A and B are shown apart, each in its own frame.
Chain A
Amino acid sequence: MNRMMTVMAALLTLTPPAVAQEAGQASMIDRAGWFENPSRLTQSGGQDVYEAICAACHMPEGEGASGAGDYPALAGNENLLMPDYAIYVILNGQKAMPPLGGVLDDTQIADVVNYIRTSFGNDFAEDPATPEHVADAR
């Protein structure tokens, strides 16, 4: 799935297409395991959690987005050097970023923090986040 997303992101970068919302268009993302709880996300594993919530604003390849305000890129983001900052921001929010501690559990947060620290070209594998880290920061 990730490779398909990469291809899509590349295509989007080249030629932002107008999405024709026609009937019968093939689905691109496997939604199995999505939308299972109205008040929490139920995906597990860093990549699945990322794609189900973070990717909406920080974009599938962590490139961020810019309008009247910005969603910062996670790719090459030095704030991810240590896990603590990302854990804090996910739990408590930061400016336009809403707090997500209510919809994600400690394991999901630890997993997704480790995912963004080691994806999109990031190489911050040292001192990985643990659910205990997250619980302590709540």
Chain B
Amino acid sequence: MTFNSDGISRRSLLSMIGAVAGAGAMYSAMSTMGLAQGSNYAGRLDLQGDVNGTRVLILGAGLAGMTAAYELRAAGYQVQVLEFREKAGGRCWTLRGGDRYTELGGDTQDVTFSEGNYLNPGPWRIPSDHYAVLDYCKRFGVKLEPFIQVNYNAYLHNTASFDGQPQRFKEISTDFRGHVAELLAKVVDQQALDADVTEADAQLLMDALKRYGALNDEMEYVTGEASSAYRGWAVPEGGGTTGRPEPSEVHPLSVILQSNLWRNLTAGDNLHMQSTIFQPVGGMDQIAQAFEREVGELITFQAKVTRIRHEGNTVTATWVPTDGGEEQTETADYCICTIPFSILGQIDHDFSPRMSGIIDSMYYASSFKCGLEFKRRFWEQDEHIYGGISYTNLPISLISYPSNDYFSDGPGVLLAAYSWGASSYQFNALPPADRIEAVLDYGSQIHPQYRDEFVSGVSVGWHKVPWVLGCYGIWKDRDADYMDATVMDGRTLMAGEHISYLPAWMEGAILSALDAVERLHVTVTES
């Protein structure tokens, strides 16, 4: 997409085109501008009209809350934000050396990573179709760099296949594709698809399969130059007297199928993982800090909301400072509430029975991440893996290699576990030191260098994060409840990743906030 650089917002431009030439022309213009796919971000807000000093109270200074604060203040509203934590960003969060994290129950971890190393416990990737996040990064000067999702030299690993030895992604990927292409070519050759494929198309399909599957001239997927050009050579291509390569042995189809390693071949094909995707240079919280630079003066930190009441045309939040002190109140004409429903359901509030029921029915996913620092980047030095992700059936689920500082001599940090569900619950139940031990045990099965090179680690089980009690909101019945949760209840609109069809993504949080801001503005200016 192209970013707006010339004053007129795309939103107003599209409105003009829509008004003058109709919806068809507008859609055509949107497609040209690259807006008609992916995220439904419709460009920067341009809120017009007199807001008459309307006060808006925003609960929560995560990305949704800060987006709302930024946009509403720009439109002339009086904005106040209450935040439970001592800093802004919510789940857009980075742990680095010098940080101290205390989880529920009191276990405290001191992060001792070297300068420049970090773990993003929450979001860690920005898809290229998440236009709102990318636009705010552009606007606020957050420097982005490519995040390597797919690395053909990373591993696929299953404890029950290949004697538990990790296999290079390129070998499994090429073999799977080659065998499937050969099988399909046989079917076409036997004219078994005549009902579905015309004769002319059948010839084209054969050409495509030969190319797609790295088949030889006999339309076979076999050990040889064609397959090795994709899966790698037994003796690599080189120069001089030893330059002649030797092909590598392809694995039989049955071995590939029974290995179950094909399960992770398509991870990078998912819409939100397709190259190119990004990460902020220096950690995901660079986005949080950028928002905080814009709206930090509006935020009251360490404020635990204890009560929400609607009276007449106002809404009042009662809060207590988490570092001690008197109970206080904040009153406004409207409220945008981004407090996760896992927390909001425990706050004394007067939302409608319908809204209360939805709040209480939403539970939060269990997720666990662990970052380990190693003395040297052995995955690069020993195994030639530069960024990307290895997948495994072990409880750690994956290992992600840093997409930055390649070839540096200093210590590097791996995302050494990213687990969900049953595995995550069990990691959460271990004390932090035991989690590190478990992650080291599992990771050593893929990288035997783990124990020798280990320096330190930090882990986050999201159900034990004191200010959210879980990873992201899960609807019991989204079809039935979603739209009702977006309705203004009293004077309050809900926003956050949970009020989006992009749950757990920063884009969902921001889009829900923009939508709430626009609807609130219509209410204020048209009433």
Contacts and interface: CB of A to CB of B under 8 A. Distances in A.
Interface of A: 8, 12-13, 16-23, 25, 27-29, 31, 34-35, 37-41, 51-57, 59, 65-71, 93-99, 103
Contacts of A67: 104, 465-467, 469
Given A52-B429, A95-B342, A38 B421 contact: yes
Interface in B449-463: 451, 454-458, 461, 463
A19 B431 contact: yes
B466 A98 contact: no
B423 interface: yes
A120 B470 CA distance: 25
B311 interface: no
B345 interface: yes
B145 interface: no
16 contacts: A17-B108, A19-B432, A25-B433, A35-B423, A38-B421, A39-B421, A52-B429, A53-B426, A56-B461, A56-B463, A57-B104, A57-B464, A59-B105, A65-B104, A67-B469, A96-B363
B395 interface: yes
A95 B357 CA distance: 10
A21 B320 CA distance: 34
B346 interface: yes
Interface residues of B, number: 56
Greatest chain A CB density within 10 A among B112, B431, B461 is at B431
Nearest to A30: B434
B57 to A, nearest CB: 17
Contacts of B100: 18
Contacts of A39: 421-422
Given A31-B434, A56-B429, A95 B104 contact: no
A98 B363 contact: yes
Nearest to A40: B422
Contacts of B347: 69
A39 B84 CA distance: 34
B301 interface: no
A41 B342 contact: no
Nearest to A37: B422
Greatest chain A CB density within 10 A among B363, B464, B467 is at B363
Given A39-B422, A56-B461, A57-B464, A21 B469 contact: no
A103 B429 CA distance: 15
Contacts of B431: 8, 19, 28-29
Contact of B360 (A28, A57, A70, A95): A95
Contact of A21 (B345, B422, B457): B457
B105 A65 contact: yes
Contacts of A34: 426
A29 B106 contact: no
B294 interface: no
B110 A20 contact: yes
Contacts of B395: 35, 38
B304 interface: yes
Given A16-B108, A27-B433, A98-B463, 7 more contacts: A18-B108, A18-B109, A19-B108, A21-B112, A53-B426, A56-B429, A67-B469
A85 B220 CA distance: 62
Interface string B340-382: 0011011100000000000010011110000000000000000
B223 to A, nearest CB: 34
A51 B422 CA distance: 13
Contacts of B457: 21
Contacts of B423: 35, 38
A65 B104 CA distance: 6
B399 interface: no
Given A22-B456, A57-B464, A103-B422, A38 B360 contact: no
A96 B345 contact: yes
Contacts of A19: 107-110, 431-433
B477 to A, nearest CB: 13
Given A28-B431, A56-B429, A69 B422 contact: no
A41 B425 contact: yes
B468 A68 contact: yes
Q: Which 8 A-B pairs have the closest CB atoms?
A: A67-B466, A56-B428, A65-B104, A96-B342, A56-B429, A16-B106, A69-B346, A35-B395
A44 B364 CA distance: 25
A23 B106 contact: no
Greatest chain B CB density within 10 A among A13, A69, A93 is at A69
A29 B432 contact: no
B205 interface: no
A41 B426 contact: yes
B187 interface: no
B234 to A, nearest CB: 34
Given A21-B457, A21-B458, A68-B304, A56 B107 contact: no
Contacts of A95: 342, 345-346, 360, 363
A21 B464 contact: no
Contacts of A31: 430, 434, 438
Contacts of A29: 430-431, 434
A35 B438 contact: yes
Given A16-B102, A71-B104, A103-B425, A96 B467 contact: no
B261 to A, nearest CB: 15
Contacts of B363: 93, 95-99
A49 B342 CA distance: 24
